[in-house]
Structure 1
Amino acid sequence: MNTLFHNALKRTPQAVPPIWFMRQAGRYHKHYQGMRANHSFDQLCKRAELAAEVARGPVAEFDFDVSILFSDILYPLEALGMGLEYTDHGPQLGFKLTPETIGTLGGVEEAVKFMHFQKEAVQATRAVLPSNKSLIGFVGGPWTLFVYAVEGSHAGSLIQSKKLAPMFPQFLEKMYPLLKENIRLQLEGGVEIVMIFDTAAGEVSPLFFQEWIQPVLARLSQDYPGKIGYYSKGTQAVFFNDAFKALPWAGQGFDHRNYLPDCFNIQNKGFVQGNFDQSLLFMDEADFKKAMHTYLAPMKNMSKEQRAGWVSGLGHGVLPKTPEKNVKLFVDTVREVLS
């Protein structure tokens, strides 16, 4: 395990934060590209030794403090019989979820068996990681998975998903127990926490979030107290009411639309992860360094006690074609400025 990361989980004050990025093992990285040239994305996820090597690569090269299971949030949909193919145009499901097709979803027991490849990938990843690096897992947010099932993506206004929101509880009859067991598998495999990635949550209103999305998040966090982190794209402080804050989260990630120092009040326990704008990694070096110092200045002005729990990272995941030199420069700059 990584000492800096576990200090963040406990909100132990420290000068230098741990660093990890969403999608740090992905298309921007030559290590990944080399493996992808010889294997399909599906193979990289489902063959444990390949998933482990993809996850190990960026930790070895950029010295991130935390590694993340290499996989995809959509596999539970495949596990329930929706079909899934990764194409040059993105992931394609076999059919879209409608009131007519929802009855064709498969059984939870078989779906859980299908998801065992993630536990095996976690075990293989832990075996190849240095002992001083932490390992976390993830699942897709229930609402985000519903959106993908209904829309085929999470782009646009989500008209169909919102129109069919009354069908969400029926979807959860299968998806909730599957996610609960999927989290268990990853924890048994050796991850220290499991993140819920809810990339479609910011496309709804705060009231919709609290009515439809928060109740199932509450159940998952209470199933595994202190073991579940939450990240949602596009959400603001107003989304997270006192009941949400009171849940036994391991921590919360915030995208770049939030002012990072304020996030320590939104999430008052565990870690606060974020939240440099990932698009700024494409800047020329001189401009990028200025942007980094702008990002770090308010954090440096906080005391170690005030920023206890911070996990430095991006607002969202690393984008394709991101210059590797700026990824390395990010890691080095955080440690240099704050040490």
Structure 2
Amino acid sequence: MNPLFKNALQRTPQAVPPIWFMRQAGRYHKHYQGLRAQNSFEDLCKKPELAAQVALGPVAEFDFDVSILFSDILFPLEALGMGLAYTDHGPQLSFKLNPETIGNLGPVDKAVEFMGFQKEAMMATRAVLPSNKSLIGFVGGPWTLFVYAVEGSHAGSLIQSKTLINLFPKFLEKMYPLLKENIKLQFEGGAEVVMVFDTAAGEVSPLFFKEFIQPVLAKIAQDYPGKIGYYSKGTQPVFFNKEFVSLPWAGQGFDHRCYIPDSFAVQNKGFVQGNFDQSLLFLDDADFKKALDTFLAPMKEMTPAQRAGWVCGLGHGVLPKTPEKNVKLFVDTVRKELS
């Protein structure tokens, strides 16, 4: 385990935070592009030795403190029989979920068996990672997976998903036990923490979040106390009530719409991850350095005790075509400015 990440999990004060980016192994990186030119995306995820090489690439080049399983949140939908193809127009399911098709979802036990490749990929990644680097896993949030199943994407106002919300409990009859076992597989493979990525959560109201999304998240957190992290895109602190914060989370990620110094009070235990605006990595050298200095200024004003738990990163994932030199400059600058 990375000592800086371990300190963040325990909220042990430290000057320099661990650094990891969501999607740090992806399309912006020449290492990934080289592997992708010779292999399909599915093979990069499902062949353990390839997934390990993709995950290792950015850690080796940019010296991130934490590596994350290279995979995709949609595979549980494929595992339940919805089909999945990665096309030039994005991922495509073989059918959309509705009251007529929900009966087509397959058995959970076979779906769990299908997901075994993630355990193998985790083991292969741990085998090639330096021992002083941490490794985390991830699954999609149940709501986000429901949205993909119903809409085929998570873009827009999610009208279909919201109007079919009465279908969500029936979807969870299959998806919840699958995710629970999927998370277990990742832990068995060597994950130190498993993140729940809820990219569609920011498209609902706080009341909708509390009524429909929070209860199943609570079950996941309680199933693996202190081992599950949560990240939701587009949400605000008002979403995270006392009941949510009191759950035994390992920590929480916040996107760039949130003010990171205030997020330590929102999530008062474990790590707080984020949250430089990933689009600003496209700035030219002088403006990028200025934007990064602006981001770091309030963190430098805090004492190590006040910012204990911080895992420095982006608001969301690294975008395609992000300049690699700015990824490197980000990592080096954070460590230099805060040491």
Q: Provide TM-score, normalisation by structure 2.
A: 1.00
| Structure 1 Cα separation of the partners of residues 235 and 158 of structure 2 | 15
- 2:276 corresponds to: 276
1:155-179 deviations in Å (ceiling 9; x for gaps): 0000000000010000000000000
In structure 1, the residue corresponding to 2:81 is in which secondary structure? coil
Q: Which residue is 1:155 aligned to?
A: 155
- Cα distance in 2 between the residues matched to 1:104 and 1:15: 52
Amino acid across the alignment from 1:271:
F
What is the alpha-carbon distance in structure 1 between the residues aligned to residue 235 and residue 248 of structure 2?
20
Letter of the structure 2 residue corresponding to residue 162 of structure 1: K
SS of structure 2 residue aligned to 1:80: helix
Partner of 1:320 in structure 2?
320
| Partner AA of 2:57 in structure 1 | G
How far the C-alpha of 1:31 sits from its partner, in A, is 0.1
Q: Give the total of aligned pairs.
A: 339
- 1:305 is displaced (CA, Å) by 0.4
2:89 and 2:118 map into 1 onto residues whose CA distance is 24
Distance in 2, matches of 1:93 and 1:24, equals: 26
The reply to whether residue 16 of structure 1 matches residue 39 of structure 2 is: no
What is the distance in 2 between the residues matched to 1:246 and 1:207? 18
Partner of 2:38: 38
Q: Which amino acid aligns with 2:24?
A: Q
Cα displacement string for residues 260-318 of structure 1 (whole angstroms, at most 9, x for unaligned residues):
00000000000000000000000001100000000000000001000000000000000
Hey, what's the Cα distance between the residues in 1 that align with 2:33 and 2:305? Answer: 41
Counterpart mapping for 1:125-144 below 5 A: 125-144=125-144
For residues 94 and 130 of structure 1, the distance between their equivalents in structure 2, rounded to whole angstroms, comes to 40
CA–CA distance in 1 between the matches of 2:182 and 2:273?
23
Give, in whole Å, the separation in 1 of the partners of 2:237 and 2:33: 37
Map 1:82-97; keep pairs closer than 5 Å: 82-97=82-97
TM-score in terms of structure 1 length: 1.00
In structure 2, the partner of 1:200 is: 200
Distance 1:215 1:111 in 2: 23
Describe the superposition over 1:188-215 as per-residue Cα deviations: whole angstroms up to 9, x where unpaired.
1001000000000000000000000000
Distance 1:112 1:244 in 2: 28
Identity, in percent, stands at: 82
Separation of aligned partners in 1, 2:164 and 2:2 = 43
Instruction: Give the Cα separation in 1 of the matches to 2:189 and 2:248.
Output: 22
- The whole-number CA distance in structure 1 between the counterparts of 2:230 and 2:299 is 21
Q: What pairs with 1:157-172 in structure 2 (closer than 5 Å)?
A: 157-172=157-172
2-structure distance, mates of 1:10, 1:302? 18
How far, CA to CA, are the matches of 2:316 and 2:310 in structure 1?
16
Query: CA RMSD for the aligned pairs?
Result: 0.3
Distance 2:137 2:75 in 1: 14
Secondary structure class of the residue paired with 1:24: coil
Distance 1:94 1:336 in 2: 49
Aligned to 1:262: 262
Residue equivalent to 2:64: 64
Q: How far apart are the structure 2 equivalents of 1:336 and 1:290?
A: 15
Alignment of 1:167-182 (within 5 A): 167-182=167-182
Q: 2:245 matched to which residue of 1?
A: 245
What amino acid is the match of 1:130? P
Letter in 2 for 1:297: A
Runs of 4+ aligned structure 1 residues displaced above 4 Å come to none
Instruction: Tell me, in whole angstroms, the C-alpha distance in 1 between the residues paired with 2:42 and 2:67.
Output: 19
Counterparts of 1:322 and 1:295, CA distance in 2: 18
For 1:294 and 1:107, the matched residues in 2 are separated by 51
Structure 2 gaps of 5+ residues are none
Gaps of 5+ in 1: none
Alpha-carbon shift at residue 88 of structure 1 (Å): 1.0
CA–CA distance in 1 between the matches of 2:300 and 2:249?
A: 26
